[in-house]
A and B are shown apart, each in its own frame.
Chain A
Amino acid sequence: MIESLRATCRRLLETGTAQVVIGYGQADPGKAVHPVFIRRPEDADQLTWNDQCYPNLVAYLKRKEVQSLGKAAIVVKGCDERGLIVLERESQIDRGSLYVIGIVCGGVGNPKLDKCKSCGAHRPRFANEILGESSLLQDGVGQKWQALEEFLTKSPSQRMAYWQNEFSRCLKCYACRQVCPMCYCERCLVDKNRPTCIDTSPTLKGNFAWHITRAFHLAGRCIGCDECTRVCPVGIDLRLLNQSLAKAAEEQFGYRAGMDPQAEPLIGSYSLQDKDGFIG
């Protein structure tokens, strides 16, 4: 599997199909997996694949310094590929000039992450090339909204107290934004200061405004990679917010971001049948 991945990388670079291959690398077994940007065929051996490959490499496609490396090939898991579909639908990437190496993934983490247990996309569907064996996990065997549903058993005031406690630790480092494959605004709302919309200092009000903004800008777009939660240095469980929007999108509109390449973006479209029972 790793050998065929490296061979593919070598081939792509030698034939000029791609100028850079974005994949996973690992300095030593046991060390953290990190992204690698392979530009020479002889470096292809840096590529690796194992169950520690958490990062969603799609996030790097939005970086100017990566774009400047030329035509890219990217290694994606089935779940990461959903991000490519959203970005393509929103005209953020040119799928024709991107070579996608899909990897059939049996779930990452040891033990497997919750998101992998309920993942509906272990096998990439639209990649130019699909590597790997059949998945270890069945698609969608886990409880998809388990964490959220447990959280929603709390009363509203308990929920508010919980988030106040969580957001009081937020440092406003914006790691959640930087790691997100869906956050691609050249200038983020939170960085705009004429006038200031969101308080930039890590006050409780500013933190609430930031996290509401971050979550809602992902409404109907979040692919549930949970990278924001993984990278949060103070361990805020942001996936609960993402899940509440994803659950509403699925239950009220039958929409799952990045599953159907033809589907209209949820927030960019409307239906005359949308329910408005809450509107007086």
Chain B
Amino acid sequence: MSVPQTFEPKIVAFVCNWCTYLGADLAGTNRLEYPANVRIIRLPCTGRIDFNLIIKAFELNADAVLVSGCHPGDCHYTTGNYHARRRWMLFRELLSTLGFDLNRIHFTWISAAEGKKWQQVITEITEKTREMGPYPYLAIPDASVSTVDHGESTA
């Protein structure tokens, strides 16, 4: 399927206040250019990023989601990112079972000093998402791939 040239991916970035947000800020003050496709949402900590926010972003037609925070050991609240890491490990399994496209959900550690890395990550995600095209979250499934049997479940 050809993607219209006008497609601009919508990317939602949930970032922590202390590292990635400042990294993005640094990219700005250093005049590092990165695609304007990203919508940054600042939260206190990656440990605060509820999985429902990711689902909400897809419901509101995001084509990709980025979750980013402090490197391990650097958390402003000492352990928030460790808790987040464990949660995302499990959450990815659930999304995979549900058939979500895991190529649309990105996780990175970006520190307050890594303005350059922010620029690279956003550029890469934008390019990758542009190639993949819009994310048809919960679009009506193609009848040909629907292999559902409606047998009774156990017990």
Contact = CB atoms under 8 A, between A and B. Distances in A.
Contacts of A240: 97
Interface string B82-96: 110111111111111
Interface residues of B, number: 44
A109 B93 contact: no
B77 interface: no
A205 B155 contact: no
B154 A154 contact: no
B52 interface: yes
A256 to B, nearest CB: 14
Contacts of A247: 93
B90 A220 contact: yes
Contacts of A272: 72, 82
Interface stretch (B11-19, B23-31, B98-106): B98-106
Interface string A37-72: 000000000000000001000000000000000000
A270 B86 contact: yes
B153 A241 contact: no
A148 interface: yes
B55 interface: yes
Contacts, number: 157
Interface residues of A, number: 62
Contacts of A245: 90, 93-94
B59 to A, nearest CB: 5
A109 B90 contact: no
A169 to B, nearest CB: 9
B154 to A, nearest CB: 6
B138 A164 contact: yes
A160 interface: yes
A278 B92 contact: yes
Of listed B72, B91, B94, residue having the most chain A CB within 10 A:
B94
A230 B153 CA distance: 8
A276 B155 contact: no
Contacts of A280: 106-109, 121
Given A162-B99, A163-B98, A280-B121, A270 B83 contact: yes
Given A156-B101, A274-B85, A274-B86, A212 B55 contact: yes
B52 A209 contact: yes
B147 interface: yes
A158 B147 contact: yes
Given A212-B98, A279-B85, 5 more contacts: A165-B148, A216-B51, A219-B87, A230-B155, A241-B94
11 contacts: A160-B100, A162-B147, A162-B148, A163-B99, A164-B140, A212-B95, A213-B51, A248-B90, A253-B86, A272-B82, A280-B109
Sorted nearest first, the 9 A-B pairs with minimum C-beta distance are A160-B99, A159-B99, A161-B141, A270-B82, A244-B97, A248-B93, A280-B108, A279-B107, A165-B148
